[in-house]
A and B are shown apart, each in its own frame.
Chain A
């Protein structure tokens, strides 16, 4: 069965970077884009961008351009989302998903930004 398993919770200081991983199984990793979505408590779901594991092509939401990098390692079927220059507003649960209209989501990774 299709599974996306994300890395564990992180605590970071303001100005630091975080890299969240998303390991895929149960399907052809290179066949589907990986999207990243976050949820800030008290606010809505926010689309961050997509990464095509086959080509390495990416597309980022304007809000995150210059601060986010999405990559993939096909040898270990894992996608990564790195967000830099963190601030308290980046405290959120980050999700990977196989596409945008999809039943396949990771379990979420809580990233806490605190001094």
Chain B
């Protein structure tokens, strides 16, 4: 059981906006910036958001991140079928341990 809590599943129809939450504590999200990954099993995780709300080059602006206190969220607008994947938040905690959320499986209906 992860110290970062994510909903196990989320869904939406093409074109919709979906938000995935990540809830933690003062020792993890409250301590450091949040990263978000998209993962398709068998492939390397893809960084979508770093530093709470920064997008790496090549990541569409449909993806956005935010953080408030000990929670963070990933928003995906204009949902597309190719967005169907697992999504994870990740942070460093105050003991210098990396922590991943439990993951959210996004289904595009």
Contact = CB atoms under 8 A, between A and B. Distances in A.
A33 to B, nearest CB: 10
B44 A47 contact: no
A63 B39 CA distance: 23
Interface residues of A, number: 23
B1 to A, nearest CB: 10
Interface in B57-109: 86, 88, 90-92, 96-103
A72 interface: no
Contacts of A100: 35, 90-92, 98
Interface of A: 35, 37, 39, 41, 44-47, 50, 59, 61-62, 93, 95, 97, 100-103, 105-108
- 4 A-B pairs closest in CB distance: A47-B98, A101-B35, A105-B44, A44-B103
27 contacts: A37-B45, A37-B100, A41-B41, A44-B88, A44-B101, A44-B103, A45-B39, A45-B45, A45-B88, A45-B103, A47-B97, A47-B100, A59-B97, A61-B98, A93-B41, A93-B42, A97-B45, A100-B98, A101-B33, A101-B35, A101-B47, A101-B51, A102-B47, A103-B46, A103-B47, A107-B44, A108-B44
